[in-house]
Chain A
Amino acid sequence: MMSTEFLIQTRENIDEMKDNAFQLTQAEAPGKEVLLGWLRQMLLIREFEVRTMQAYQNRLIGGFCHIYIGQEAVAVGSIAAVNPDDPIVLAYRDHGHALARGMDPKYCMAEMFGRIGGCAKGKGGSMHMFDAEHYLYGGHGIVGAQTPLGAGLAFATKYEDEVIKGGKSSHVTLCYLGDGALNQGCFYEAMNLASLQDLPVIFVLENNRYSMGTSIERGTSMAHDLRVKSEAHGIHHAIVDGKNVIDLYKDFKSIADWCREESRPFFVEAETYRYKGHSMSDPRKYRTKDEELVEESNDSIASLKNYLSEEYDVASDALKQIAQQVKAQVKQAVEWANNSPETPMNELYKDVFTDHWGPYAGTSKPEMLDEGGA
């Protein structure tokens, strides 16, 4: 067995990898306008989540609902580093990724309100955001379930590019998972397959250090050096700062370009923190208030604002204006969701199959299928 010290000493660091290990290219830092766009996205996600919590408390949203506040930089920076038609798949903490991918917040909110205007017609709810137009292949409720799907999406883009179109593989899939999903066997099966098949998929670990009330140290062996998890499958690993959207973007861009070019998987660990409870009913007794305060004092949105005013002289008024616009946008989204009609009853029987072979009781067709559209 390797000793722990050995592993820590040899842990590959992303800068070294850029220097030598396998020539990751150094991505350029984005300019002011792009950064302002990211700030807007991150503020949008945060404001959206604040309103989501309110709506949940007002019983406009039901079921399980997981808030992304604190982790915004991960979705925004990583999604910015890939192309708009590169597939994305993830777990149930999915509102932020949907918005960062470009879903209109009103469709996201209406989904949680269980309305026909929702991105999945109100059939999926908070944990299951799907958006074909934006190549978002779902939030998934079963911990770890999305990891083989991520391999499968990468398998498909590679197959389409190489076998069907006869060209070169040109896409890369982002497959997000939480630290809790590190403990599901299917993740290791997915990595093994991805490595064997040279699949261009980035497994993005959003390490917020807790799965529900279990800290990563209590739930995951080798938590101090997760590199070993992917290296066993010949997949490179890198740690990125999940609180700094600029650095995170640059690292992701380098990695995504490499994966696309080489058609290989990668395992990226973004160090982050969820500010709120696991879901809407979590008193957070498993961590200290002090720890939360320390984490929240290193906030990705606050530091991007600072950076913008220091590096680009962006006035605080301009920043305030963005915040106000975002507030208004989310307010409208809530109103739109509220005005969206309830999902009609005939939807209960639709989408079970691609054709309209419905669930027949005895020999008769259910009435609902006749009510329009079927």
Chain B
Amino acid sequence: MMAVATAERVIEFRDALNEAMSEEMRKDNRVYLLGEEVAEYNGAYKVSKGMLDEFGARRVIDTPISESGFAGMAIGSAMRGLRPIVEFMSWSFSLVAADPILNNAPKMLYMSGGQFGCPIVFRGNDGAGGQLASTHSWCVESMYANVPGLKMAIPYDAYDAKGLLKTAIQDDNPVFFLESERLLSTTGHVPVEEYTIPFGQALTRRSGTDCTIISFGRPLHFCLEAADELAKEGIECEVIDGRTIRPLDIDSMVASVKKTNACVVVDQSWSFASVGSEIASQIHACCFDDLDNHVFRVHSDDVPTPYAHNLEQAYLPNSRKICEAVRQATYNA
């Protein structure tokens, strides 16, 4: 539930994540954090700053560079009812742990006929950083969202980062929590009072009547930028932040499209068999008679992420591409 803030308190996205983990660890000593450099180094991106001091080395654990090993170990402990938070320095490195995180965590409950659950959070940076090239720029959402049995959240601002992460930690199921290195230093209002944000509730980040833009996480920044640009041309966009990909709040998205009659989905992962194509397909099914045009999609280009700055910029779903898509989606409105 959203609490009403008594006083404006502005903190960084990374500190919001830190607060979420720390508060949950204070409440429940089954919760622990592990990952590379999370303890003594205070986190490669300083998300877990101070947590070793507060919770000690039994609950904030530095691991070797052994993603498959430590992710699997955490899953084993979750089968016994512990509630690990696994930090991947980058989701790119989670590929090394693909078997445990995709084959064990999301399927444990089902495969054991409901006997062994897996209350675990995997979290870390997702998406292109800045010129990190192809091995380090993975957007795992489309690939991983394909797997039944996992939940997936992508926060856009500090408020959501805290509220969604607390929900993730309290959830009895595996949650894939996708942060963005590019957002960690952004600041936003986070109330002092405790709050959580339920999964499956999209948020309208901008209201508009002409076109619905649906996105998640960092690309929302480009969507909002594009919406401002398009407003100058008289196209008013409604920007919807899905917040969680699984569960997906398709109802809110459909309601918006029924109002605007046009839709663009912006998904930073590749287009083929993606979150974007899934949403477009669902919108087509639910809004067939309401759409003035087919749903347009903006993705990263269908190539490995290049290093060169100019190529990377062209490759990412930027506001120029979003503007073009919206113009196409609305040209016959």
Contact = CB atoms under 8 A, between A and B. Distances in A.
Bound pair (A, B):
yes
7 contacts: A114-B131, A114-B311, A123-B306, A125-B133, A212-B36, A343-B311, A359-B301
A25 B302 CA distance: 53
Contacts of A374: none
B304 interface: yes
Interface secondary structure of B, over-half rule: loop
A121 to B, nearest CB: 8
Contacts of A128: 133, 135, 307
B93 interface: yes
Interface stretch (B5-13, B64-72, B146-154): B64-72
B42 to A, nearest CB: 9
A141 interface: yes
Contacts of B93: 142-143
Contacts of B131: 62-63, 114, 125
A25 B17 CA distance: 58
Given A114-B310, A285-B41, 13 more contacts: A63-B136, A64-B136, A122-B307, A124-B134, A127-B136, A142-B93, A143-B93, A180-B64, A183-B66, A185-B66, A212-B36, A348-B301, A349-B303
Interface string B191-218: 0000000000000000000000000000
Interface residues of A, number: 41
Contacts of B36: 212, 214
A42 interface: no
Interface in A343-372: 343, 345, 347-349, 352, 359, 361
Interface string A210-229: 01111000111000000000
Contact of B40 (A114, A141, A213): A213
Nearest to B97: A185
B222 interface: no
A286 interface: yes
A260 B62 CA distance: 40
A143 B90 CA distance: 12
Contacts of A125: 131-133, 307-308
Nearest to A115: B308
A123 B308 contact: yes
A161 interface: no
Interface of A: 62-64, 114-115, 122-125, 127-128, 140-145, 180-181, 183-186, 211-214, 218-220, 285-286, 342-343, 345, 347-349, 352, 359, 361
B133 A184 contact: no
Interface of B: 36-37, 40-41, 44, 62, 64-66, 68-69, 92-93, 95-96, 129-136, 271, 301-304, 306-311, 314-315
Contacts of B62: 214, 218-219
What are the 7 A-B residue pairs with the smallest beta carbon separation, nearest first?
A359-B302, A114-B308, A125-B307, A62-B131, A183-B64, A63-B131, A122-B308
A363 to B, nearest CB: 14
Nearest to A342: B310
B41 to A, nearest CB: 4
A347 B69 contact: no
Given A125-B131, A185-B69, A348 B315 contact: yes
A219 B40 contact: no
B69 to A, nearest CB: 7
Given A127-B133, A183-B65, A347 B307 contact: no
Contact of B37 (A142, A185, A186, A212): A212
B304 A142 contact: no
Given A141-B135, A212-B37, A348 B306 contact: yes
Contact of B314 (A141, A213, A345): A345
A268 to B, nearest CB: 20
Contacts of A62: 130-131, 307, 309
Given A213-B41, A343-B308, A181 B301 contact: no
